[in-house]
Amino acid sequence: MPNPISAQLRFAVLATDVVCFRVASGRLEVLLAKVHLPPFYKNRWGLPGGIILADETAEQSVERHLKTKAGIAQVYKEQLATFSRIDRDPRNRVVSVAYLALMHGGEEREPTATETRWCPLAEVPKLAYDHDEILAAATERLRSKLSYTNIARYLMPRAFTFSELQRAYESVLGHVLDKRNFRKRFLSLGLVRATGKKRKEGAQRPAELFAFTGTGLRTLGL
C-alpha cells in the first residue's frame, strides 16, 4: 500500500523527528508519541515528528510538530543527524532529519495531547521505525556534550541548587560524581554564579541557588 504522495516520485519525502529530553524527579525522560499504523505498527510508541512542508525549514518543522503534538514551545534544539535507510519507514521512502531538544522538568509543561507521554529513558520500549537508533544517537550526543559544553543549562530551570545540577548530570551520565570536584569545576570555569538566594526544602540545611552565567551554548576549552 504505497502512499499516494510519494508513489509517483523518484525522490524521497522529507520529515523530522525529535528526541526531546528533560530531567524530572532526578531521572532523564524522553518525550514519546503514539504510532498507530496498521498493519505495520499497532499502538507502538515512537518519537514525535512529521513531514517538512515546502515552506518551512527543518527546524521550523520540529517546532511545529512539538507544538502540535505536545504543546511544547521555546525549547533548546540542535540538529542531530539525518537518517536515510531505504526501509526505515515501511510504507514508503521517508528521510528524516533528527533533532535533539532539551527542556527542564520544573516548569510543569505537561503534554497536551494524550497521545504523547514522558518516559524515563531506562524504561523506553521498543520504538517504531528506526527510532531506537535515533534515540541512541541523541543520548550519546547529550552525554558527550555535557562534558565539554554548558548544555546542561537547557535541562535546568533559571535557578537551581548544586545538588539538582549534579543529579541532572548523574542521571544523564549514569554514574555518580564527587560533590566537591563537581562544584569546584563549575565555579572555577565561571559557568554558574550564586544568586544569593537560598531554598529551604525539608529538614536540612538550606541550599544556595545558582544560575548559569551568560547566554547560549558555550564550548569549553577554546
Q: What residues are annotated to the active site?
A: 115
**Buried-state track 137-175, b at ≥16 Cβ within 10 A, e below 16:** bbbebbeebbeeebbbbbbbeeebbbebbbbbbbbbeee
> Among residue numbers 103 through 162, which ones bind DNA (CB under 7 A)?
161-162
Question: Which of the choices a second copy, DNA, none does residue 14 contact, using the CB cut-off of 5 to 8 A by kind?
Answer: a second copy
Alpha carbons 90 and 175: distance in angstroms, whole number: 38
Alpha carbons 12 and 51: distance in angstroms, whole number: 11
Please select the residue that binds DNA; options are 6, 207, 211, 218, rule is CB under 7 A. 207
* 58 touches a second copy by CB under 8 A: yes
| Closest of 19, 20, 44 to residue 34, by C-alpha | 44
* 85 touches a second copy by CB under 8 A: yes
149, 218 Cβ separation under 8 angstroms: yes
Tell me the three state secondary structure of residue 173: helix
Question: Which of the choices DNA, a second copy, none does residue 11 contact, using the CB cut-off of 5 to 8 A by kind?
Answer: a second copy
Question: Which ranges of 81-130 does DSSP label H, i.e. alpha helix?
Answer: none
Question: Which of the choices DNA, a second copy, none does residue 197 contact, using the CB cut-off of 5 to 8 A by kind?
Answer: none
Q: How far is the CB of 97 from a second copy (least distance, A)?
A: 5
Alpha carbons 121 and 135: distance in angstroms, whole number: 9
Name residues whose C-beta falls within 8 Å of residue 59's C-beta, 6 or more positions apart in sequence.
77, 79, 99
Range in contact with a second copy (rule: CB under 8 A) among 1-9, 26-34, 36-44, 184-192: 1-9
* 184 touches DNA by CB under 7 A: yes
Please select the residue that binds DNA; options are 4, 38, 196, 202, rule is CB under 7 A. 202
> Which amino acid makes up residue 70?
A
> Which amino acid makes up residue 14?
L
Rounded to 5°, angle at Cα 131 from 107 and 176 = 55
Question: Which of the choices DNA, a second copy, none does residue 5 contact, using the CB cut-off of 5 to 8 A by kind?
Answer: a second copy
Question: Which of the choices DNA, a second copy, none does residue 163 contact, using the CB cut-off of 5 to 8 A by kind?
Answer: DNA
Task: Kindly report the backbone phi and psi dihedral angles of residue 130, in degrees, each rounded to the nearest multiple of 5, phi listed first.
Answer: -100, 30
Please select the residue that binds a second copy; options are 11, 175, 215, 216, rule is CB under 8 A. 11
Q: How far is the CB of 85 from a second copy (least distance, A)?
A: 6
Binding site for DNA (CB under 7 A): 161-163, 178-181, 183-185, 198, 200, 202-208
Binding site for a second copy (CB under 8 A): 5-6, 9-14, 51-59, 79, 81-82, 84-86, 93, 95, 97
